[in-house]
Amino acid sequence: MTCHTLKARSQPSSMNSPSNTYRLMPWFAAGAAVFLYLHLFIIPFTPIWIGGDQTVYLTNAIRMWHGEAIYRDFFHFLLPGTEMVYLSLFGIFGVRMWIPNAMLVILGVGLTWLVVAISKQVLKGWTVFLPALLLLTVAYRNMLNGTHHWFSTAAVLGAIWVVLNERTPARLVSAGALCGLATCFTTTKGIAAVAGLCAFLLIEWQRGDDQAAFLRKCVPLMVGFLTSVIAANLYFVMKAGLGAVWYSTVTFVLKYYRADVEANSWSTYLAGWPTLPPWRHLPAFASWLLIYAMLPLVYVVFLMRNRRANSPADPQVRNRLMMISIVGLALVAGAAPAPNFFRLFSISPPAFIVFVWLITEERFKRALLPPFWAFGLLLMFTEPWSNHRGWRDVLDLPSGRTAFLSKDRYNQFAWLLGHTHQGEFLFDASRLPSLYFPLDLRDPAQVTLLTTTDYTRPEQVQNLLESLENHKVRLVYWSADLDRPEDPLESGDHLGPLRAYLRGHYRVIKILGDDQIWERKDY
């Protein structure tokens, strides 16, 4: 009786069985897809308007769809990875409103799958799903926007997964190529990731590898990285010229990017927190608190713990966690110059993995794990229904039937739908230009985004004035944020000539909230 009991106890439980984890992964992915679908679509198939930063990349892809060349015909400061994703989808399905929403579902499922795949190498049992659950419900849900941030994160996670167990030349080349792909979405993130992997290889060398072994690992990693970056961008360099690409993605970023202090500086840290009350913001507030508390503290705690000679963790697991932590710290360093919530949320996946591992190693894990499981599962089953309880209405836009959850946004698009026609030139001077993609309108200028700082260059304003005149643009959507009293001592504001041109050639015909619609006087 005792022998049988001991034998049974020595066998792994079904909960900890790797095969059981493999069987559950498709179910977990399906649950993630349903969760995201309910956030992004009104049942059965109507996409919800989400707007946000992704509209800039959708607008750029629309311009490329119409034959314009990025960097030559319009300005952008990142490499065009995000635009190419959307342009490819437009080429297959046409310009349809459901595309960015469906892409967010696919991207979210892919991210959670990668996090589970990495977690399986360092965690056991059901715990392998907890980092992915927290990523999905805490970070991804609060940043449902199809920008470069999430695409580059997926590529970085892929790079970690490829070399986590083995670092053969072929795997290192693949990891480098994935970091190069990440660079094509978010420049700093891809460079930070490959730098983090190089730093980890250096640590491995210091632990016993000879110098030749270090070079045999680092060289294929960098070859894959550089080959990927060059191959992905050679066409655009040939199309626009190396000078234009270099100015947009390097010179502009170094000289003028941080001039937009509200979005691209240290002041963005801790900005935009959900306010309490109302208490319905409590889940979002708790989510933000968790991520800001984790980054970068979770990596520091692990590295300090790992230095202890008596650490009980398996050496192989500790080495894998070391790689995840070093790359995670590199991502934090890459986001540090402008640590807004978009950037911090998007680099959180490695931190969730290390965080859950630290909890499982504590003596009080039985008390620490259940609250996080409960929080993630509570959000998983309750949050999606908010889109289906409150006010909503739909419009049949040129890009497809679309649901709106905001009356103000619905009224804005309803008015514009009745006063514009497809293919018409209109300049959207709102903080985040969002009208071109849903209404099938054309952007007449090289610059898509206007600010009252040095981020918007005088030559871009001059180009905009020429475009408004040459195309006889009928309507301008003007943001109240840009219409402030001019200060001759503030040299960063270059919009004075544009304001004067609008007053001389346009008149206000509609007020939409704090914004205005200006119509050309000679129409």
Long-range CB pairs of 380-387 (<8 Å, 24+ gap) are: 380/31, 380/35, 380/133, 380/136, 380/137, 383/39, 383/137, 383/141, 383/283, 384/35, 384/38, 384/39, 385/38, 387/38, 387/39, 387/42, 387/48
Identify whether residues 381 and 247 lie together within a single domain: yes
250 contacts 183 by C-beta, under 8 angstroms = no
Domain check: are 368 and 268 in the same one? yes
Q: Is residue 26 part of a domain?
A: no
pLDDT score for 131: 98
Indicate whether 172 belongs to any domain: yes
Residues 369, 220 within the same domain = yes
The identity of residue 212, as a single letter, is A
Query: pLDDT tens digits for 244-269?
Result: 999 999 999 999 999 988 888 888 89
In a domain, 196, yes or no: yes
Out of 385, 420, 449, a domain closes at 385
Q: 62 and 83 in contact (C-beta within 8 Å)?
A: no
pLDDT at 487: 52
pLDDT of the residue at 248:
97
Assess contact for 450 and 252: CB atoms under 8 A: no
Q: Which residues constitute the domain of residue 142?
A: 45-385
Give yes or no: residues 433 and 373 share one domain: no
Q: Where are the beta strands (DSSP E) in 426-490?
A: 426-429, 475-478
Low-confidence stretches of the chain (pLDDT beneath 50): 1-16, 488-489
Domain endpoint, select from 354, 385, 416: 385
Same-domain pairing of 280 and 150: yes
What's the half-sphere exposure (Cβ side, CA atoms, 13 Å) at 34?
10
Q: Does one domain contain both 226 and 364? A: yes
Is residue 395 domain-resident?
no
Q: What is the pLDDT of residue 75?
A: 96
E strand or H helix at 181: helix 169-185
115 and 217 inside one domain: yes
- Cβ–Cβ under 8 Å, residues 68 and 74: yes
Two tokens, residue 285: 């507030």
pTM: 0.93
Q: Is residue 402 part of a domain?
A: no
Regarding whether 172 and 60 lie in a shared domain, the answer is yes
pLDDT at 15: 44
Tell me if 19 is assigned to some domain. no
Same domain for 381 and 411, yes or no, is no
What gap in Å lies between CA 508 and CA 521, rounded to an integer? Answer: 10
C-alpha to C-alpha distance for 128 and 135, rounded to whole angstroms: 12
- The answer to whether residue 18 is domain-embedded is no
pLDDT of residue 2: 42
**Overall number of domains in the chain:** 2
Same domain, 195 and 144: yes
**Do 371 and 455 reside in the same domain of the chain?**
no
Per DSSP, 274 falls in state P
pLDDT at 309: 54
Q: Are residues 160 and 258 in the same domain?
A: yes
> Tens digits of per-residue pLDDT, 154-164?
999 999 999 99
Residue 391 lies inside a defined structural domain of this protein: no
b/e code 212-232 from CB counts within 10 Å (16+ = b)? eebebbbebbbebbeebbeeb
